[in-house]
Amino acid sequence: MLIEYCLPGITRDEIHQYFILGRCCSVKDILIDSIGIICFYIVIKFKNSIGDRFLGEIR
């Protein structure tokens, strides 16, 4: 799901930047954006995992 939705959006953004004066399209930017999305996904999964354990102890 992460790759299916985010990678096309990142690629579309880079292609859009190609046509804007003063901006450039770069594979490096695609990789940086992809790494950022993967890190965000990991943080959210970790946060949800901790939250589920904490709520389980309260009940």
Q: Which domain holds residue 10?
A: 2-58
Q: How confident is the model at residue 55 (pLDDT cuts 50, 70, 90)?
A: low
For residues 14 and 26, is the Cβ–Cβ distance under 8 A? Answer: yes
pLDDT of residue 54: 59
For residues 6 and 34, is the Cβ–Cβ distance under 8 A? Answer: yes
pLDDT of residue 57: 56
pTM of the shown model: 0.68
Dump pLDDT digits (tens) for 2-44: 778 888 998 899 899 999 999 888 899 999 998 999 998 888 8
Which residue is it, tokens 């309260």?
58
Number of structural domains found in the chain: 1
DSSP per position, 11-45: HHHHHHHHTSTT----HHHHHHHHHHHHHHHHHHH
